[in-house]
Structure 1
Amino acid sequence: MKKSALIFLISIVLVSCISGEPKPIQLNTDSCDFCKMTIANGKFGAELITQKGRYYKFDDVACMIHFAKSNTVVPYKAFFVGDYLQENTLLPVEKCYFLKGGSINSPMHGNAVAFASDKEAAQYQSKLNAKLLTWKELYSSY
């Protein structure tokens, strides 16, 4: 009985480790895996997960993209970015609307932000004087 309980617990832990869900960024504690700066602002934070379940954290979407482009041998499973309107909340890039440029000033000067809805992005587009981009366009821009 103890052996089956132990096997069950180990399987739960292993499945949760490679779930594909982002791990919360520990602000002012975690460091960017690209530029090595401490991640201090969750609105600009980003994270990627490899196919093997390894997590990498970033203080700017630009750092994540530069990291991904410089490490082409590692297959990635998922990319996440901080929601500009929800402090330290990570969203899958496929579901985001991005703004870049204008008066946006991110930690490593990637100067891009993500929104969960097109309405939010449109509302901030004129406020920030920024260009609306898809994930593919943003990824190609660095």
Structure 2
Amino acid sequence: MNFLKKGGSFFLILLFLFAFSCEKVKSPVPINYGVDKCEYCAMKIMDDRFGAELITETGKVYKFDSTECLAAYYIENKDKLKIHSIWVTDFYNREFINAETAYYLHSPDLPSPMGMNLSAFKNMEDLNKIKEKYNGKVLKWSDILNMVKNKWLNKRHNHHHMHM
């Protein structure tokens, strides 16, 4: 009888460990720069100033090489996926920050991987330090979504329809 109690305890510990290990990812995971590929454009993610991630409610992590690829994927999939959170890399300190609360600099003098010249910042103080050198316009996430939709996605869809 004593053996069963010990065996039962052991089983409960294993069950707890298994349940704990299956906990879903809800925060960004490190990007393996030079190896991981962008979910949207399929290019290798190379520049650690611009990486981004989208995490679903089930814990699936999608990685991107730029804010514009994240935004395009978000626009095209927000109704299909149950999105938990979206993250961009802070240009200034290379840490993930929430994409919806980040500040963005749109500067032609500071190219991003996909050419929309977008950089993300955790706060205005850091953004202004970079803006002093590169100029540009300050944007919020809603501005990014509008810009990507109007200047990137609409052109791609119109181009696609012209050749059909």
Q: TM-score, normalised by structure 2?
A: 0.79
- Note the C-alpha offset of 1:43: 0.6
Query: Which residue is 1:8 aligned to?
Result: 16
CA distance in 2, matches of 1:116, 1:133: 12
Contact preservation (8 Å) 2:72, 2:145: no
Query: Which residue is 2:125 aligned to?
Result: 119
Query: Which residue is 2:62 aligned to?
Result: 56
Contact preservation (8 Å) 2:88, 2:120: yes
Alignment: residue pair count: 139
Matched, 1:101 2:113: no
Match of 1:21 among 20, 27, 34: 27
- Residues 95-128 of structure 1 show CA distances to partners (whole Å, capped at 9, x for unaligned) of 3211113312111113111111111112222321
Matched, 1:76 2:83: yes
Greater per-residue helix proportion: 2
Query: Which amino acid in the other structure matches residue 101 of structure 1?
Result: S
- Note the C-alpha offset of 1:62: 0.6
Q: CA RMSD in A?
A: 1.4
CA distance in 2, matches of 1:134, 1:74: 23
**Structure having the higher Rg:** 2
Q: TM-score, normalised by structure 1?
A: 0.90
Match of 1:135 among 99, 124, 141: 141
CA distance in 2, matches of 1:24, 1:7: 28
- Note the C-alpha offset of 1:34: 0.7
Q: Name stretches of at least 5 consecutive residues in structure 2 with no aligned partner.
A: 1-8, 149-164
Q: Which has the higher contact order (CA 8 A, sep 6+)?
A: 1
Query: Which amino acid in the other structure matches residue 136 of structure 2?
Result: A
Query: Which amino acid in the other structure matches residue 85 of structure 1?
Result: Y
- Residues 8-28 of structure 1 show CA distances to partners (whole Å, capped at 9, x for unaligned) of 11222222x23x210010111
- Residues 62-109 of structure 1 show CA distances to partners (whole Å, capped at 9, x for unaligned) of 11111111223112110100110223x211123321111331211111
Q: Name stretches of at least 5 consecutive residues in structure 1 with no aligned partner.
A: none
Contact preservation (8 Å) 1:102, 1:131: no
Alignment of 1:40-55 (within 5 A): 40-55=46-61
- Residues 35-63 of structure 1 show CA distances to partners (whole Å, capped at 9, x for unaligned) of 11111111110000112211000001111
